[in-house]
Structure 1
Amino acid sequence: MFDTIRAFFLAYWYIVVPVVTLCFLAIPVIVYWNEVRYWLMNVRMRLPLVGRIRSWVRHPGTPEDSGFLSSERELCSFYAKYYDDHKVDKAFFKKCENYLAKANEDGRREKNLGIWALIIVLMLIEATAFGYALAPFALTLATPKTAMIGAFAIGLVISIICLLLSEFAGRELYKNSVVGHIMSFEDLRGTGDMGDMVRKNLITIDNTTDDDARPEFQQMLNRVRAPKDGAMPAKRYRVASAYTVFIVVLACAAFWVRTETLNAQEAELIANPPAVSQTADDFPTGSDDDFPLTDDMANLSQQSTGKSAQDQIDALHRASLVTFAVLSVLFVFIQTTSTFLAYIFGFAGTHSRKAWEMTHGFANADEFERHHLSKARSIAVDAQSSLGTLQGLQARVFRVSGTTKTDTGKNLQQRTFENYLVYAANEATGKQTDEMMRNFIQKGIDRVQSLIDEGDLNAAAKAFNDIGPAVASINTSNQDLLPLKQKFESLRPMFQAVLAPSPAPVAAPKPVIAAVQTTTAEPVAAVPVAAVAPATPVETDAPAAAVPEAPAAVAPAFDKNAWGDLTDFEDEDLPHVASKHGVDIALLRRARKLQLLEKA
């Protein structure tokens, strides 16, 4: 068997070597995928003739509100995605550790190069064994060389399928163990909201501290997407069961194929026994010149020859069956090993893998921050280099249109990757502000509408005035919020009619004055007249229709310094500051971000 395998590798090295090399090159790609992906993006950007930069040189695009050309903005956005992944601080390191600890996965890790190399070696051994077993029956109409290559290719495909199934089965078994750990709190959980076996918060790495007060099993449920039976977490064995059936069927099929091959060899031995064709028999019949044998001696010679051939066939049959059984057990062992490796490595938490990738290999938060700061600077240098290359090539290209030539050279010193990051941060802050305002105004309009449906027009008018300043601050050029403003303005005529009679009670002192004039002397009457004179403007103060419009003239701008310097606080401290000042934490986050941008 081993001689046949060695002969196969020597005869078809030009096929085996590329396949094996490709399998082993896949290991660093899997382990260091983020770095490989960034390298591929960088290469795709700078290819001499078909790269993205060459395409953008021919089609620079038009200037945008940010001052960048559309091609420059697109180039910077590619690098900004990787730059933001490394724009982290010490607080993020602590959040990653907190996330892993609450998911009960702080002691786990992903497969390294050595583990993946072992898995690839096991996969190639499987492929070779399957190829050897399938060779006599694969592609029977093809030439022997083609049949061997086809059998090895089929064996390689089967091995890859087994590897994928073992990976999924191992992950499913590990998730079942996590569910079992969660269910172990069944008898220890409390009552009410703190005892529910359901997800209570949408937890990511950024807000991992939001469920600090919840019990351990709910913290795990917030981070692991566990299958459920009704409202309770449940274990699933679908992939593991299908994988087990697949492996058993495959092992039995391989054993059957090898047995059929053995039967064919035995039939050939029976048809052509080797003991008959030997040159020197134990009992030669002799020639005419030799001493003649009797009939009894000749019969004994023939019986011995037949018995020797049958003994060889029986011995070969027994040895082959034992070998086939060992190969089947070896195949099952390899699959069990692959499943076990998938079980002990990897994560079940939604963001656990990212948290581990960001923090593993660092002794403390300072080392973590220095490493990612260095990575961010390196990406910024690459981005500025690519942007400079694009701008330089655009400057040297002949433009028929003078406008295009002017656009590519305008404000060139301001169109840098650093300024793009500032613009992108401001744009993101503006989007967050618009989203907060949209939610606030929409809730206000919904409340006004519900009060109108209930018939409480006075309360509806008050709610209408509460959201008036926010609506007045919406710019007419903001197409996202303009429909809300138009919807708000469509309610104004209704509340103008409701609020119009409200100042009428101010004129109530008028009849009182008349009574005093009829019951008092003339000197006394002069006093009330003088007092009434300044009160007359109250009666003509302003119609009630002006009440909703008054806040629009004094709508305050967002004051980022209203709560002091927030840059000295960490992000996890903002909830305490928000509760102290009695404001929404989203406003504090916005103010802190604007202060950081101002200090940058």
Structure 2
Amino acid sequence: MDELYAFLLLYRAIIGAAVLTAIFVILVIAWWDEVKLFFKSALYSLPLIGKTRRLSKDISVRRDGWFASERTLCDDFAGDIRRIAADPEMYDRSKSYLGKVQELGRNELGILMRVLLIAMVFVEALGFAYVLAGYTLPGASEQLQVQGSFFIAFLISCVLVFLTHQSGQELHKRGLIKKIRTWWIHDNAEDRPNLLGRTNKVTLENDQVDDNDPAYMQILHRVDTNAHVTPGAPMWTIIAAIAIIGVAIGATYVRYETYQQEKTAETIGANTSPNNSLFSLEGLASEGLPDVLTEPQTEANNQAHNEQEGARDAANLTTYAILATLFILIQIMGIGIGYKTGFAGKESSTARRIIRNFPSRTSYEAWYERKRDAIARVAQKHLSNLQARLTENATSNGVDKTHREVIQHSADRTFIEHYEQTEIKAEQSRQNSEARKLSRTVESKLQPSESIKTTSAPDPVNQGKTAAESPEEMEARIRRELLAEKEAKEKHVETEDEMRERMRKELGLGS
């Protein structure tokens, strides 16, 4: 280990720069959307090759009274609002999505915890990686072996952190699938749904489509399973267990064999070293001293030497066992962290990033408005610059009546207005799509019952059965028919024309 400390001290500047670079890369990845927005704004502001200058050359006017280049710029920055801060409606859908998949209280593994976990595994792996470097780099210098041990330890730590995290996620997912099957088995309802062969159309956008389904079906709609909806074999857990046990046993064996080689080398060196004592017992024995005088001392020396070697062997074996146990415990801790922080839902990670750590929708709306306004200020700055350049280009090229009117009302066209218009259109399109899907579903359910009614009317046998009914049976039959008619009326779906007329009245647009 002295060589490791010497290496760290000698290359502390390079190691420090590497650590700072890794931290910088992690932070950039964590706040990648904000970084992209910064560079996008810089790209629009470049003096000669900026995107604003290129867009200002397009003076074509759309039918809605906007320049096409204005819409392009606003669409570009509106996407940043949707990526960085989803609207409050998405907050509600994300919270509902996580609640239905039983993952509402879970959090992703933070950057600091990831770095700490990798560092712990790296430090643990560094000890036996140094020993392995002597075998993976035979004949190399001591300094090169030390450097190689760092790369070997980093490689081992990355692989083990990945395997343990995947194993923890797999255990969590298997627990959800077992919960699905347990709840399904204990569901005694007559119309209990079938787990197999179901088409899954649930997404984060339309999370409400299965509100009326049982809780286990809501979990099933959001988790990928095999064809039989069973937990299956825990492949990641098996691979992680083999890797952990293999590394622990292999490292302990290599450490012990290295110790044995060092001990053998010490013994050979001691036997071949010259004896400088002129009056040693060995020298006297070689000169013919009787065995009666030398044998007790020789036996005492051998016994002391054996006891010393036995204590040394026991101490080394105990140390290696403790290190192997500590290594296994760290990997078990990694599996537990993966179990607690992993997500099994297909869009759970996205939903978790949307709701973040906001305790309520009110706090989220306040944060969303701050983010939206900050991005809107950046976008409005570039939009105003673009409108000024469009006015210059249109004036220099000559303007007609259409361009003149559009230029005169440039101040009325703002980024916020564009964003609100696109959000209203997107919401209307989503509602219309859901209404059409629901309408098709209801029609498919009503068609079989209608066909049964038409075919059963002219049957004389059934007429005879109806005439032979008792008053109680007739009352029960009529009650069932009336309930079916009531259910059909309640399932009436608002058509697109009816929805359009209702929304027109709500917005005060008149008929």
TM-score normalised by length of structure 2: 0.71
Corresponding position: 1:318 with 2:290: no
Q: Which of 136, 156, 159 is residue 158 of structure 1 equivalent to?
A: 156
Matches within 5 A, 1:272-351: 272-273=269-270, 283=280, 294=289, 296=291, 312-351=308-347
Of the three residues 98, 101, 104, the one matched with 1:100 is 98
* AA partner of residue 271 (structure 1): I
Q: Does 1:41 align with 2:36?
A: yes
| SS of equivalent to 2:134 | coil
Find the partner of 1:59 among 46, 49, 54: 54
Q: Of the candidates 232, 241, 250, which is equivalent to residue 244 of structure 1? A: 241
Q: Deviations over 1:1-45 (max 9, x none)?
A: 4x4443332233234323444455566556xx3xx1222112322
Distance 1:586 1:170 in 2: 51
Give the alignment of 1:105-504 within 5 angstroms: 105-112=103-110, 115-190=113-188, 193-198=191-196, 199=198, 202-229=201-228, 232-273=229-270, 283=280, 294=289, 296=291, 312-388=308-384, 403=397, 411=407, 413=411, 416-421=414-419, 424-425=422-423, 428=426
Conserved? CA contact 1:127–1:155, under 8 Å: yes
Partner Cα separation in structure 1 for residue 217 and residue 398 of structure 2: 59
Confirm or deny: 8 A CA contact 2:256 2:317 kept in the other structure. Answer: yes
User: In 2, are the aligned partners of 1:93 and 1:359 still within 8 Å (CA)?
Assistant: yes
Shift, 1:238, TM fit? 1.4
Q: Secondary structure at the match of 1:347?
A: coil
Q: Distance in 1 between matches of 2:92 and 2:329?
A: 41
* Partner Cα separation in structure 2 for residue 354 and residue 250 of structure 1: 35
Q: SS of the counterpart of 1:135?
A: helix
Distance 2:274 2:396 in 1: 96
More contact order relative to length (CA 8 Å, sep ≥ 6): 2
**Aligned partners of 1:192, 1:100: CA distance in 2, in Å?**
28
Deviation per CA, 1:247-304, whole angstroms, max 9, x where unpaired? 22222222232233223212211221299679789947789xxxx9946567877777
- Is residue 82 of structure 1 aligned with residue 77 of structure 2? no
**Structure 2 CA distance for aligned equivalents of residues 405 and 68 of structure 1:** 15
CA distance in 2: counterparts of 1:59 and 1:10, whole angstroms:
53
Q: How many Å separate the matches in 1 of 2:385 and 2:296?
A: 95
What count of residue pairs does the alignment treat as equivalent? 450
Q: 2:165, 2:338 within 8 Å by CA — same for their partners in 1?
A: yes
Over 3 Å counting, the alpha-carbon distance change for 1:98 and 1:429 in structure 2 is closer
Q: Secondary structure at the match of 1:185?
A: helix
Q: Higher helix proportion, which one?
A: 2
Residues 87, 304 of structure 1: alpha-carbon distance in 2 compared, 3 angstrom cutoff: closer
Q: Deviations over 1:454-509 (max 9, x none)?
A: xxxxxxxxxxxxxxxxxxxxxxxxxxxxxxxxxxxxxxxxxxxxxxxxxxxxxxxx
Whole-angstrom CA distance in 2 between matches of 1:317 and 1:265: 12
Question: Do the aligned residues in 2 keep the contact of 1:57 with 1:394 (CA within 8 Å)?
Answer: no
Mark the runs of 5 or more structure 1 residues left unpaired by the alignment. 440-577
Tell me which residue corresponds to 2:456: none
SS at match of 1:95: helix
Query: Aligned AA for 1:160?
Result: C
Distance 1:121 1:107 in 2: 27
Indicate if the aligned counterparts of 1:24 and 1:120 stay in contact, CA closer than 8 A: no
Runs of 5+ unmatched residues, structure 2: 438-488
What's the counterpart of residue 463 of structure 2?
A: none
Contact kept in structure 2, 1:347 and 1:353, CA below 8 Å: yes
Q: Deviations over 1:408-437 (max 9, x none)?
A: x97354664234425645775897799899
When residues 27 and 315 of structure 1 are mapped into structure 2, their CA distance, relative to the original with a 3 A threshold, is farther
Match of 1:584?
A: 495
- Computed over aligned residues only, the root mean square deviation of the Cα atoms, in angstroms, reads 4.7
Distance 1:68 1:8, change over 3 A: farther
Q: TM-score normalized by structure 1?
A: 0.62
Q: In structure 2, how many angstroms separate the alpha carbons of the residues matched to 1:265 and 1:593?
A: 89
Q: Is the 8 A contact 1:99 1:355 kept in 2?
A: yes
Q: 1:87 to 1:360 in 2, by over 3 A?
A: closer
